[in-house]
Structure 1
Amino acid sequence: MQRSKILTQRQESELNRAIIQYLEPICSENESNQTLINQLSNLLLNENENKLIKNNEIIDNYLEKKWSSVIRLQKKILDLENELTNIRNIIDIDNDENKIKNTSILGKDRINWLPFSSSQNFETSSIINSVKLHPTLPLIYAGCIDGSIQIYNFVSNENSLPEKIIKAHTRSCTKLAISYNQIDINKNDQPQYILASCSSDLSIKIYDSKTFQHLRTLKGHEHTISSIKFSKNSNHLYSVSRDKTVKIWDIIEGICIKSFIGHSDWVRDLDICNSKEYDEFVLTCSNDQSGRLTHAQSGIGIAMMIGHSHVIETIKFLPLTSNIIIDKYLKENQDFFPSIPIVILDNEIYNEIGYKYCITGSRDNSIKIWLIPPPSIIQGRSPMPSKYNQAQAWLITTLTGHQSWVKCIEIHPNGRFIFSGSDDKTIKIWDLNDLNNSGNIGVIRSLSNNEGFLNDLDFARLTKSKNSSVNDKILTHEEILKDIEIRIRCMLVSGGTDNIIRLWK
């Protein structure tokens, strides 16, 4: 018999013994098959090798263990190849003079921190629809398709096991939210951060985020609840649903205090902006392929975002730190935007209402950035629809690079970087500064070691400022960034259909 030119004699001997060991129990019940095994043993093995098998001097299930080792090795090779691709992307970017500087790309300065690879993975028992990081504790919450909320402690010695599994809902848990402030929900002088979950079972559940105690159940929607968001300045929780409504809840009293309809189809996502002068504004997006800005307390529509060709899955206000970048681009390229009255960019109303730009992600695989026209302000009345551009937002730019639905978007605390998760199994990072370099926003990093669709992302919140008046006193963009650099927590968490929570830090 001709010897293998690839395997050594020892490797060939081990392989032959493993094959015989694997086949023997399969063929043992049939006499003719047993004869075949004996002949095969005589052909492949010498007398000493036959004795090793009969004396059980070969590891049990040797072939299966070798094969599973190969699979694990293949997975490791794939992960390393993905990391190598990321490194090459960084090198290519570093060599391009129009891209951001090396220190920014590599995240050596905290204010420009970007994730490179996941530092910890936590495997859940079900598909993950939503993920959230606790504002202060080392806890990650995952809302799962089986209705459970699974909680992991990422500094625990037993972090492979969940800290707690809450059987929250009878159907899929679609979204999680955590309050911005500690709330004394039971009026017992023990305020805590509040965890909320919503579901296709038509309920919203309220929990103590630290003790995991169930506090409230909110009911009132007539179809799947898609998303929820806490107000930053009150005890209010906002929810949107397939029943087309937006509802505002007082979580202390456990009641719905307002409900309005702004879309003609399933409302998918929302975001909240708080204004000192005009209460709160809510952004929503829908299956009707539009985004809408509404004055929350009155329910009056202020502006629309129209331009996507498919369902809009996610929508967010861009932080005020993004304004300086996009304003500069618009002022230097006025010819490209003849319908925008450039003077409105310096309109003080934007400082009063707290927003200027927003971003949307859609099933048309694209991300769009919009300039929202300011509302019409009449003294003594609620804000009214904008008088500009027939109350429609101006499309500033479209980000293309994903190969499938864009499902989630997160904004870096510095307002410069955009994170997007997609059904193409990648998290892409975009740099707004590219607008002022090349006129287009491209992908500066793609995190591709995910094995399933990306359903949600959450960037860790800034730590509380030690100076309670810092937000009132800081006036310049540089001072704002300096404060963010002190307070930033360099952590991103992701979850999706591969049942794995990934912590990037």
Structure 2
Amino acid sequence: MDVPLDGDQQRELDRSVIEYLRWRCGENESEIIDALAQSLKVTESEDPSRLLLLPRKWTSIVRLQRRIMALEHTCRELRELNSSRDASHGTADASRVTWLPPAQPCSSITVESPVASVRLHPELALVFVATEHGRLHCFDVLDTSIPMASIQAHTRAITSVDCVCVEGTTYVATGSKDMQARVFTWEASGGLRLLRSFQGHEHVVSGVRLWLNGKDLLVASCSRDTFVKIWDVLKGWCVKSFQPHADWVRCLDVQGEYLVTGAQDATLRLTHWPSGNGLSVGIGHSFPIESVAFVPAAGEESEWFGECVSTSRDRTAKIWSIPAPRLLPHRAPVPHSADAQFHNRATLEGHQSWVRCVRIRGPHIFTTSDDRSVKCWELATGNCKRTWEDAHQGFVSCIDLDGTAQPVPRRIAVTGGIDCKCHIFMQ
């Protein structure tokens, strides 16, 4: 019977068998021969193919070892290639963070009505598209032929959408002109499912933000009724309600225990949301504020983020330095006694109409406008770095870019406009 082993494998196997038999039977050759004959004896009732079981296992192990060695060699080559690229062009992460979208979109999504808000999934290649007909869609950015999920989320237009992923569960929050804020869960198998519907505002809900506060998943909503409300998503109740402005609160952003809002009265306000204490105010825009965003902290050890960016109907965006509040022992923060106003560090001028939306990614600020353009600005200097003219065939209402908090930042950007399209930029 032919054994599927080459000469070297046969010799190694024989040597191993002999060593085993010496251990079992001692050095007596006759006993070794008898034990070997007994172990190789095959009766008529036995299957002769059983004799090949050990050689087959042996060859499987050899093939597996060779495959492992080949993979290790490939990994070494890839690490050396990445090291050489990093040495000549900087680190890969740095290049991803400073990435700018290409001049033309890679693909486009057409929906049933004007796009009001877009949000990329923080981990997966998904984009959530909210429309002025109250529908919420989920698309795969790599295959936009049909939505992965679609739901009539509200009875009137959606104004804002946000998304977080907590312990493998995706939560999507929406605000609407039907005066409600809602939170949905998304699953690849089950699509979008309504988890909570928060009713408490008395007018249009103009902005929502989801974030994890310790072990609590919270959503903040702002409204034309001049109130901001903080809701506990899993428990379903209102945690805090306060009135930062005397006019329509049009937008908000949250970072830790601090919340910044922009209003119809053209002012910005910083609030410590757990206590409701107003801390400082930003005055400088001449028309209502359309959007606002905190500049992410420089590092985890930074105690104070210090800056935000706002956009307005006065055709400008502004970079603000936020004064640090007074921190008192065992008490909530209070306004600084001598410095309670934002400082306008730079004014970004260049758009020819209302500046609708702002997003910050790494060292860049991205703004959209009713002049149908998207602009990229340098956060450090306020200089315009690039302009995408005629990004849409109408007002560009929203933009989102992948965050830089992932271990390997992606290169994805999405824009939405009143032309009922969502453009996807990738590289």
Q: Is the 8 A contact 2:97 2:404 kept in 1?
A: no
- Tell whether 2:69 aligns with 1:148: no
**2:375 touches 2:384 (CA, 8 Å); kept in 1?**
no
The reply to whether residue 220 of structure 1 matches residue 200 of structure 2 is yes
1:449–1:316: structure 2 CA closer, same or farther, 3 Å change rule?
closer
In structure 1, C-alpha distance between the alignment counterparts of 2:418 and 2:368, rounded to whole Å: 12
Query: What displacement does 1:141 show?
Result: 1.0
2:147 alignment partner in structure 1:
162
The amino acid of 1:500's aligned partner reads K
- Shift, 1:139, TM fit: 1.7
Q: Is the 8 A contact 1:376 1:383 kept in 2?
A: yes
Q: Superposition pairs for residues 230-379 of structure 1, below 5 Å?
A: 230-233=210-213, 234-274=216-256, 280-321=257-298, 351-352=302-303, 354-379=304-329
Counterpart in the other structure of 2:347: 398
Q: 1:180 to 1:447 in 2, by over 3 A?
A: farther
Question: Paired residue for 2:413?
Answer: 492
Whichever residue aligns with residue 358 of structure 1, its letter is: C
Aligned length: 330
- TM superposition shift of 1:447: 4.5
User: In the alignment, is the contact (CA less than 8 A) between 1:371 and 1:393 conserved in 2?
Assistant: yes
* CA distance in structure 1 between the aligned counterparts of 2:308 and 2:174, rounded to whole angstroms: 25
8 Å CA contact 1:180–1:232 kept in 2: the answer is: no
Post-superposition offset of 1:427: 0.6
Normalised by the length of structure 1, the TM-score is 0.63
Q: Deviations over 1:92-129 (max 9, x none)?
A: xxxxxxxxxxx89xx99323110022111010111110
Deviation at 1:270, TM superposition (A): 0.6
CA–CA separation in structure 1 for the residues paired with 2:390 and 2:338 = 41
Q: Does residue 1:455 correspond to 2:397, yes or no?
A: yes
Aligned match of 1:484: none
Structure 1 108/235 Cα, relative in aligned 2: closer, same or farther at 3 Å?
closer
Task: Choose between structure 1 and 2: higher helix proportion.
Answer: 1
* Structure 1 residues 372-391: aligned runs within 5 Å: 372-389=322-339, 391=340
Aligned position for 2:182: 205
CA contact (8 A) 1:284 1:291 kept: yes
Distance 1:457 1:355, change over 3 A: same
Q: Secondary structure of 2:119's partner? A: strand
CA RMSD of aligned residues (A): 2.1
How many Å apart are 1:490 and its aligned residue? 0.7
CA contact under 8 A between 2:272 and 2:333: conserved in structure 1?
yes
Q: Which runs of 4+ in 1 moved over 6 A?
A: none
Which residue type is aligned with residue 267 of structure 2? Answer: S
CA contact (8 A) 1:180 1:230 kept: no
Hey, what's the Cα distance between the residues in 2 that align with 1:427 and 1:497?
14
Q: Provide closer, same or farther for how the CA distance between residues 115 and 447 of structure 1 changes in structure 2, counting only shifts above 3 A.
A: farther
Alignment of 1:21-40 (within 5 A): none
In 1: Cα distance, 2:332 partner to 2:174 partner? 31
1:127-173 CA-to-partner distances (Å, cap 9, x unmatched) read 110001112222211111011112222223xx222222201111111
Separation of aligned partners in 1, 2:356 and 2:343: 22
1: distance between equivalents of 2:165 and 2:149? 22
Long gaps (5+) in structure 2? 1-88
> What residue ranges of structure 1 are gaps of 5+ in the alignment?
1-102, 183-190, 275-279, 324-349, 466-486
Contact kept, 8 Å, 1:221 with 1:241, in 2: the verdict is yes
Distance 1:392 1:294 in 2: 13
Q: In structure 2, what is the equivalent of residue 177 of structure 1?
A: 162
Question: Per the alignment, in what secondary structure is the counterpart of residue 331 of structure 2?
Answer: coil
**Identity across aligned pairs (percent)?**
34
